Structures are given as structure tokens and as C-alpha cells.
């Protein structure tokens, strides 16, 4: 299923837009449409105040999305999807399944979204604390990022560009899967050793470079032609956490090519750093 990924502030109108999309693609285009909604999983908004439960929620939605994805019918994922790294992981899933996707950013202001939240039934409302926290953590999609593209930014008063969305899904070639997105058999007996060494070397290079480089400088990445831009000062604990996440991801996507492995970690690292 080509994927339509909705993203936006809480109560920004994503579900309304998702229903409009479902109606268009099912009645006008004649496609089978599956709507996967965060609201169907979340029974209590307090889940967003617990980091571990919220992480479990994202994992559940991602697993269900991976189960439903195919090359023919439409899959609409209605949720906040506010974390840039999470959107990147969903992009990798569509890429590995050789299907297209697009992103709809429902660009409702936080003030208007809060007003719409207060009109909901009390049991469905976000508390002020949780609403503000989700708005603060929101990472706005950028059409220059391949995992957010093609990007459609929708204001509350806008009509949905149905034909353009359909063209983005059905008139565009799906990205070609590569070793960073395909699950491959383990091809090297020392893969885990190489994975540990390559990722640790990159983290060490970034940490060491911060001792002599200024914010805004570029740092050469070992075993790769990539350059890491120092947008700010990064803590070792932060870099190590992302490294551990990547190692878990890479164990199911092993490669023998060390430069490619380094490039994979570079892309993962930059997509997870704000």
C-alpha cells in the first residue's frame, strides 16, 4: 500500500483530513483504503506523559503499518508522528517494501489546535501539560528530507490537493531498496565486531572534534565521504544512546561493506539529532 503519513499538533484536524482522504481514494480513485489511526490505539491521553508507554505506542503503530503495507492499496497513518527519527523509520519500511509514500503536515497553529481540543468530550481532551509538551517536542517535517518528501503542508482553511497526492503515490517511482532498508542474511562472521568498531569510531570522532572545532564546522566521518555538521554541542550520552539504537536496528540489516555501514550510521545519527 502506498502510505499517506499525517503529522501535526494534537487536535490539529488530522483525523478529519484522514477521513477526507479515505473517502476520496475509495470513491473517486476506486482504491481499497485502510485507515490506521493512533486514536484507535490510545484510550487515555495520559499515555503521552509516560515516555516508555509512548514508545510502546509508536512501536505498535509501526508494527501494524509494516503488516499492512503493500504496493497496491492505500494506507493512511493518522497520528502525531512528531519525531523526525520515527518518520525516517517509517520511510525505511515503505522503501523496503518498494512502495511510495507522501507526508501531509496539518499546519494548524497551537492556539487553534488547543481551542479545538477544548471542544472535544472531556474524556478525549489533552491536558494543558501534555498538549504543551507535545507541541514543544514536535519536529516539523522538511520536504528537503527524503523521508518527509513529497511534503504537502495543509492550512486549516485549505482544500486537500487530492489529485497531487494521488500523483505523488501512483505516478512516481518507488525508491529502490538498498542495504540500509532491506533485511538481509548475515553475510559476515565478524559483522557485529565491525558494527561496534565503526559506530564507536564515528562517535569518538564527533566527541573529539568538539574539543577543537566550532559550532557550524564540518567533521569528517571515518570510513565515509560524509561530513558531519556540528549544529550544537552534543553530549556523549546522547550520541551513545543513538548508537545503541542503531546497533539494534543494524543487526537485522547486516552488510559487509564498511563504507556503506558507516554511511548508514551517519544517516541514522543525523536524522535522530535535533
Closest C-alpha among 146, 148, 154 to residue 81: 148
Rounded-to-10 torsion of CA 107, 111, 123, 83 = 40
pLDDT at 268: 87
d(CA 124, CA 203): 43
Question: What backbone torsions phi and psi does residue 140 show, to the nearest 5 degrees?
Answer: -60, 130
Residues sharing a CB contact under 8 Å with residue 42, sequence separation 6 or more, in sequence order: 57
d(CA 151, CA 252): 29
Decide: 151 and 142 in contact? Cβ < 8 Å. yes
Q: Other C-beta atoms within 10 Å of 27: how many? A: 10
pLDDT at 250: 81
Cα–Cα distances (Å) from 274 to 180, 186, 239, 243, 271, in that order, read 21, 32, 12, 15, 8
Cα–Cα distances (Å) from 261 to 89, 200, 205, 223, 234, in that order, read 17, 12, 16, 9, 22
Q: What is the CATH number of domain 3-170?
A: 3.40.50.300
Q: pLDDT tens across 149-160, in order?
A: 999 999 999 999
pLDDT at 182: 46
Q: In what order do the strands lie in the sheet with 33-37?
A: 33-37, 74-78, 3-8, 101-106, 151-154
Cα–Cα distances (Å) from 191 to 140, 202, 223, in that order, read 35, 17, 15
pLDDT at 122: 87
Could you tell me the three cell numbers for 235?
A: 553530549
Could you tell me the three cell numbers for 252?
A: 537485522
Residue bearing cell 545519527 = 269
d(CA 103, CA 62): 16
pLDDT at 256: 65
Decide: 141 and 151 in contact? Cβ < 8 Å. yes
Three-state DSSP class for residue 271: helix
pLDDT at 184: 41
Domain ranges of the chain: 3-170, 191-272
d(CA 73, CA 252): 27
Cα–Cα distances (Å) from 97 to 35, 93, 212, in that order, read 18, 6, 43
Mark the ranges of the chain whose per-residue pLDDT is less than 50: 179-188
Amino acid at each position: 500500500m502506498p502510505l499517506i503519513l499525517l503529522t501535526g499538533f494534537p487536535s490539529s484536524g488530522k483525523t478529519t483530513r484522514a477521513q477526507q482522504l479515505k473517502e476520496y481514494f475509495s470513491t473517486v480513485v476506486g482504491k481499497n483504503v485502510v485507515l490506521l489511526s493512533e486514536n484507535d490505539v490510545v484510550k487515555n491521553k495520559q499515555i503521552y506523559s509516560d515516555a516508555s508507554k509512548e514508545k510502546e505506542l509508536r512501536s505498535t503503530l509501526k508494527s501494524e503499518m509494516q503488516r499492512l503495507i503493500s504496493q497496491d492499496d492505500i494506507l493512511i497513518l493518522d497520528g502525531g508522528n512528531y519525531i523526525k527519527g520515527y518518520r525516517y523509520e517509517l520511510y525505511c519500511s515503505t522503501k523496503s517494501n518498494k512502495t511510495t509514500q507522501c507526508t501531509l503536515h496539518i499546519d494548524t497553529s497551537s492556539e487553534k489546535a488547543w481551542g479545538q481540543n477544548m471542544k472535544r468530550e472531556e474524556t478525549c481532551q489533552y491536558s494543558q501539560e501534555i498538549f504543551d509538551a507535545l507541541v514543544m517536542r514536535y519536529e516539523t517535517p522538511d520536504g528537503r528530507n527524503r523521508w518527509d518528501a513529497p511534503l504537502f503542508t495543509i492550512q486549516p482553511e485549505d482544500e486537500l490537493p487530492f489529485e497531487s497526492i494521488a500523483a505523488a503515490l501512483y505516478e512516481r517511482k518507488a525508491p529502490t531498496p538498498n542495504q540500509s532498508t532491506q533485511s538481509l542474511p548475515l553475510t559476515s562472521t565478524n559483522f557485529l565486531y565491525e558494527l561496534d568498531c565503526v559506530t564507536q569510531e564515528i562517535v569518538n570522532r564527533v566527541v573529539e572534534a568538539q574539543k577543537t572545532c566550532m559550532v557550524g564546522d564540518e567533521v569528517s566521518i571515518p570510513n565515509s565521504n560524509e561530513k558531519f555538521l556540528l549544529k550544537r554541542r552534543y553530549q556523549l550520552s546522547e550520541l551513545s544512546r543513538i548508537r545503541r539504537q542503531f546497533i539494534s536496528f543494524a543487526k537485522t540489516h547486516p552488510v559487509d561493506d564498511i563504507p556503506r555501514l558507516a554511511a548508514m550510521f551517519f544517516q541514522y545519527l543525523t536524522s535522530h539529532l535535533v
